[in-house]
Amino acid sequence: MDDAAAKPTQAFRIETADRGSRVAAVAAIVILLALVLLPVFAGRNLIQDLIFLFYMLALAQCWNLLAGYAGLISVGQQAFVGLGGYLLFALTLLGGINPLLAIPIAGVISALFALPTALIVFRLHGAYFAIGTWVVAEVYRLVFAQFKPLGGGTGTSLTPSVTSTVPGIELVKSVLDVRTPAARDIISYWVALALAAGTLALVYLILRSRRGLALGAIRDHEAAAAGLGVDIYRVKLAVYVATAAMTGMIGALIYLQKARISPDAAFSVLDWTAYVIFIVVIGGIGTMEGPLVGTIIFYLMQRYLADFGASYLILLGTLGIFVMLFAPKGIWGFVSERFNLTLFPTRRRLAIRDRAES
Amino acid sequence: MPLLQTCKLTAFYGDFQALYGIDASLNVGETIALIGANGAGKSTFLKAIAGLIPSPADSVLLDGKPIGSRPAADIVKLGVALVPEGRRLFPSLTVEENLLIGCYGRKMQGPWTLDRVYSLFPILKERRASATPTLSGGQQQMAAIGRALMSNPRILLCDEISLGLAPIIISDIYAALPQIKAEGTSVVLVEQDIVQAMKVADRVYCFQEGRQSLEGRPRDLTRDQIHRAYFGS
Amino acid sequence: MTGWLDALIQGVLLGGLYALFAAGLSLIFGVMRLVNLAHGDLIVLAAFAVLVVAGKLGLDPFVAVLIALPILFVIGFALQHVLLNRTLGRELLPPLLVTFGLSIIIQNGLLQIFSADSQRLHSGAIETASIPLGGGIAVGVVPVLTLLSAIVVIVLLNFIFYRTSIGRAFRATSDDLEVAQLMGIDHRRIFATAMGLAFVAITIAALFLGLRANFDPTIGPARLLYAFEAVIIGGIGSFWGTLAGGIVLGLAQTVGARIDPEWQILAGHLAFLVVLVLRPRGLFPRAQD
């Protein structure tokens, strides 16, 4: 037999990037740089608006990972937002820990709470799991409402001794020539940006990893994934705990910036679940770009329509229902199918190159 | 005019084509058998007639009228009843309730009443209050056939009623067929058991990979012909 | 000691209300495996409907509810037929998110029309009437009526489900949708009828909700959680189980309240979680599932 014929003449590579995503990667770096430098030029209002946009984006990415990839549709993530917020207050007010340090600690402790929580709620499935997470969030809310050292049912505020110890305030004040509250906002802005970018990066890395391949399989067809040996329970548990940690950190940041917390606000279904679900559904569930698109749309709607109160919420609900029924892949889903676009390349492609060519 | 006719009947499961234009007919009072290997499209054919799989309106004609696009719930009202593959009795219903629900859609006056079904399959009367998962395979098959008969169908479609059953049970079940035919019902049998099929059928169709490969009366067909039609040459 | 006995009795009576909340939810899940996140808000909607009928026609709520029942049956039928039937399929997300959106729409719609003011259904003397049981303990007439109504509703639901032709159709459709169609069952109408029936149960629950306590557009979600907990504690698939679940929940709440009034709701949630950990299928689950 001919020796050359026996050897394979093709080389295989797994690729994820393509032309569109390479352009997007460069654009992302440029945008990130611009955002970091933004406080130099921007007014306080814009900075506060962007803080809101960043943390909603981060929350949306987390919920999307949970529901869109792991199939865990939770209506109770507000549990970890509130938990993170209260942990921040507890660590700083009661524990004397530096506020910025308290944020990652809050994330770790949230993960620790998430573990036993998961073991309980995982006994439920599907829609019952969803309501179960809501019950758990209510339990968290009611427990914290009893916690007198942090204000019980009426809540409490961060003292100036805490807010003024956020590192970097003096530096920002002198370099950018702003007063203390604005400086604090700017630091919060950078932390929010870091959290948003970090969440995006973390989610992206998870989806590109082997775990991520498993998640994609679970998203596409859970029974088939199980049949192929994916340990569904452990993957779901890992995702639940990881998103709880991220959500906890985001909650800690949110309430550091607001400087005032109460059980009803911290564990609000509307703010931390309804809006987040709306963002993900409108944007496009099960993709990374979807929540990004959804957050921008939501931010614009919130900015210009929120004054309409109950009517605005009716509009959101109606829009959500329409999209769910008639465009279940959301706006990004529609766009990406039409134009075959991907900004965050996570799908693997088999690239075959003829060895003879190289 | 044939009672039931299919004209270039095609069927898809998503992108996969299971039937490639079947032309077949069933005359009043006839019993026809469909044989063929696994995956040949026999069950798909019955499901398409029964309305579980969508088809173009005029690809299935009942009394000359197009029924292809009608939903399953309508088709049973027109007098076509399917005994589905695997029996598929309702586990939340007792044996008797399974029979009773058979005539939910079509409350026709006809020979098949609860008592008549019980006299056809006496064991069902004994087990009338039992939960269906506790029945043996043969008993479940009898219940499934009885359930379909309760709608007093003009056409009974039977999908693999001998599947998974011991030969003696199969004989018991097939012994009921003459009584069903005697009441005027026309029958289409999908069968993997060729011997049994040839014994009871007036005509036989053979399917192979979604296409009709043979048609004729049992006594006119040779073993060789059937072998080739079944497995391909 | 009478304090504890009183708490137990009140718990059972409260359980009747929760069982009423849960009956509709249990029916809907039993027939079409749909968990309606707007369930609690629908109870509130029905309460406002009874309020409006009673107010506009100058009727006692007990009479007004009889008029409201057929109207709400039709609304439920239509809601299922037009909207919710579209969400049913193999995907988990659409029914969840559509009913969640519905919940938000109903809450805010009610807020627009009726404002956030607390409302109450008034029925005259019966509201404060009570029956003394001796030993210093008395039970309110309305709570007793609530429990009795819950039992009646459960008995009726069981009757419909297990002794009627349409009940057979409900069970068959829930077992195997495809084969149910082979029986001539139009599943879309069956689902719509089931939802209409659930709305009847919801309306009866709304009557007693409004008589017992104040209500406003925002209390829906909490009722959903109680209904859900009652169903899970009792065991999915059993109407009597739902009654038992409601009573267990009511008892947990009143016992918790006895220890500390602020712990009432928390005690209920904790009891639910305990049952979930120890008996995940509930106290009286259906034999097969």
Residue A320, min C-alpha distance to chain C (Å): 6
One DSSP character per residue, A240-252 reads HHHHHHHHHHHHH
Q: Which residues pair with B36 in a beta bridge?
A: B207
CA distance A205 to A75: 25
CA distance C132 to C119: 28
Residues of B in contact with C182 (CB under 8 A): 50, 52, 72, 76, 81-82, 84
Q: What are phi and psi of C121, to 5 degrees?
A: -95, 125
Kindly report whether the global pTM for this prediction surpasses the value 0.95: no
pLDDT of res. A1: 45
User: CA dihedral defined by C273, C277, C282, C286, rounded to 10 degrees?
Assistant: 150
Contact A138, A146 (CB under 8 A): no
Residue A302, min C-alpha distance to chain C (Å): 16
Residues of A in contact with C21 (CB under 8 A): none
Residue A139, min C-alpha distance to chain C (Å): 6
With helix as H, strand as E and coil as C, how does chain C read? CHHHHHHHHHHHHHHHHHHHHHHHHHHHHHHHCCCCCCHHHHHHHHHHHHHHHHHHHCCCHHHHHHHHHHHHHHHHHHHHHHCHHHHCCCCCHHHHHHHHHHHHHHHHHHHHHHCCCCECCCCHHHHCCEEEEECCEEEEHHHHHHHHHHHHHHHHHHHHHHHCHHHHHHHHHHHCHHHHHHCCCCHHHHHHHHHHHHHHHHHHHHHHHHHHCCECCCCHHHHHHHHHHHHHHHCCCCHHHHHHHHHHHHHHHHHHHHHCHHHHHHHHHHHHHHHHHHCCCCCCCCCCC
For residue C250, count other CB atoms closer than 10 A to its CB. Answer: 26
Q: Which residues 6+ apart lie within 8 Å of A83 measured at CB? A: A106, A109, A110, A113, A140, A248, A251
CA distance C12 to C244: 9
Q: Does A316 touch chain C (CB under 8 A)?
A: yes
Residues of C in contact with A310 (CB under 8 A): 108-109, 111-112
Contact A174, A34 (CB under 8 A): no
Closest CA to B116 of B108, B107, B125: B125
Q: Does A73 touch chain C (CB under 8 A)?
A: yes
Domain extent listing, chain B = 4-231
Inter-CA distances, C284 with B131, C43, C237, C268, C275, Å: 19, 25, 9, 19, 12
One DSSP character per residue, A286-334 reads TSSHHHHHHHHHHHHHHHHHGGGTHHHHHHHHHHHHHHHHH-TTHHHHH
Residues of C in contact with B134 (CB under 8 A): none
One DSSP character per residue, B79-128 reads TEEEE-TT----TTSBHHHHHHHTTSS----SS--HHHHHHHSHHHHHTT
Interface of C with B (CB under 8 A): 165, 168-169, 171-172, 174-176, 178-187, 288
What is the chain A residue with the closest CA to C112? Answer: A310
Residues 91-120 of B with CB under 8 A from C: 91-93, 97, 100-102, 104-106
Closest CA to B56 of B27, B97, B19, B82: B19
Inter-CA distances, C214 with C144, C209, C225, Å: 18, 8, 18
* CA atoms in the 13 A half-sphere facing the CB of A318: 8
Contact B207, B42 (CB under 8 A): yes
Could you read off the pLDDT tens digit of each residue along chain A, which spans 358 residues?
Answer: 444 445 555 666 666 666 667 787 888 889 899 999 888 888 888 999 999 999 999 999 999 999 988 889 999 999 999 999 999 999 999 998 999 999 999 999 999 999 999 999 999 988 899 999 999 999 999 999 999 999 989 999 998 888 888 888 888 888 888 888 888 889 999 999 999 999 998 888 888 776 677 777 777 776 677 777 767 888 899 999 999 999 999 999 999 999 999 999 999 999 999 999 999 999 998 888 899 999 999 999 999 998 888 999 999 999 999 999 998 889 988 888 887 777 776 666 666 655 544 4
Q: Which residues 6+ apart lie within 8 Å of C36 measured at CB? A: C25, C28, C42, C84, C95, C99
Residues of C in contact with A274 (CB under 8 A): 100, 104
Q: Across residues C122-151, what is the average pLDDT?
A: 89
At C10-33, the pLDDT tens digits run: 999 999 999 999 999 999 988 988
Q: What are phi and psi of B189, to 5 degrees?
A: -110, 125
Q: Across residues C117-131, what is the average pLDDT?
A: 89
Identify the chains in contact with B, defined as 3+ C-beta pairs within 8 A.
C
Contact A24, A339 (CB under 8 A): no
At C216-227, the pLDDT tens digits run: 999 999 999 999
Contact A324, C93 (CB under 8 A): yes
Residues of C in contact with B91 (CB under 8 A): 175, 288
Residues 96-135 of A with CB under 8 A from C: 120, 123-124, 126-128, 130-132, 134-135
CA distance A72 to A130: 8
| Beta pairing class for A10-15 and A349-354 | antiparallel
Identify the chains in contact with C, defined as 3+ C-beta pairs within 8 A.
A, B
State the distance between the two ends of chain C, measured CA to CA, in whole angstroms: 43
* Closest CB from B51, B91, B93 relative to C168: B93
Residue B75, min C-alpha distance to chain C (Å): 8
pLDDT of res. B150: 94
Residues of C in contact with A73 (CB under 8 A): 92-93, 96
At A97-120, the pLDDT tens digits run: 999 999 999 999 999 999 999 999
- Give me the CATH code for the C2-115+139-278 domain, please: 1.10.3470
* Closest CB from C183, C187, C288 relative to B91: C288
CB contact under 8 A, C186 and B73: yes
CA distance B206 to C101: 53
Closest CA to A343 of A18, A14, A33: A18
Q: Please check the confidence at residue C176 and state whether its pLDDT lies above 80.
A: yes
Closest CA to C15 of C279, C281, C287, C283: C283
Largest CA distance in chain C: 61
* Closest CB from C172, C178, C187 relative to B101: C172
What is the Cα A220 distance to its own chain's centre?
21
Q: Across residues C101-130, what is the average pLDDT?
A: 93
| Beta pairing class for B203-208 and B211-216 | antiparallel
Contact C24, C230 (CB under 8 A): no
Closest CA to A188 of A252, A247, A245, A256: A256
pLDDT of res. A347: 64
- Tally A–C CB contacts below 8 A: 117
pLDDT of res. C289: 44
Contact A126, C90 (CB under 8 A): no
Chains C and B touch (3+ CB pairs under 8 A): yes
Contact C223, C217 (CB under 8 A): no
pLDDT of res. A4: 46
Contact C243, C157 (CB under 8 A): no
CB contact under 8 A, C273 and A135: yes
Contact A101, A300 (CB under 8 A): no
Q: What are phi and psi of A131, to 5 degrees?
A: -65, -35
CA distance B12 to B83: 21
Largest CA distance in chain B: 51
* CA atoms in the 13 A half-sphere facing the CB of B19: 27
CA distance A183 to A161: 15
CB contact under 8 A, C97 and A324: yes
Q: What is the CA radius of gyration of chain C?
A: 19
Find where tokens 């098949």 sit. Answer: B112
Domain extent listing, chain C = 2-115+139-278
CB contact under 8 A, B82 and C185: no
Q: What are phi and psi of C133, to 5 degrees?
A: -105, 5
CB contact under 8 A, C112 and A311: yes
Find where tokens 């709440």 sit. Answer: C253
**Domains identified in chain A and CATH numbers:** 23-354 (1.10.3470)
For residue A8, count other CB atoms closer than 10 A to its CB. Answer: 8
Given a cut of 70, the residues of chain B with pLDDT beneath it are 233
CB contact under 8 A, C172 and B105: no
DSSP type of residue B67: -
* CA atoms in the 13 A half-sphere facing the CB of B161: 31
- The class (CATH top level) of B4-231 is alpha beta
What is the chain C residue with the closest CA to B133? Answer: C288
Contact A74, A88 (CB under 8 A): no
CB contact under 8 A, A124 and C276: yes
Q: Is B63 exposed, middle or buried (0-12, 13-18, 19+ CB in 10 A)?
A: middle
- How many helices (H) does chain A have, and how many strands (E)? 18, 4
Q: Please check the confidence at residue C206 and state whether its pLDDT lies above 70.
A: yes
At C52-110, the pLDDT tens digits run: 999 999 999 999 999 999 999 999 999 999 999 999 887 888 999 999 999 999 999 99
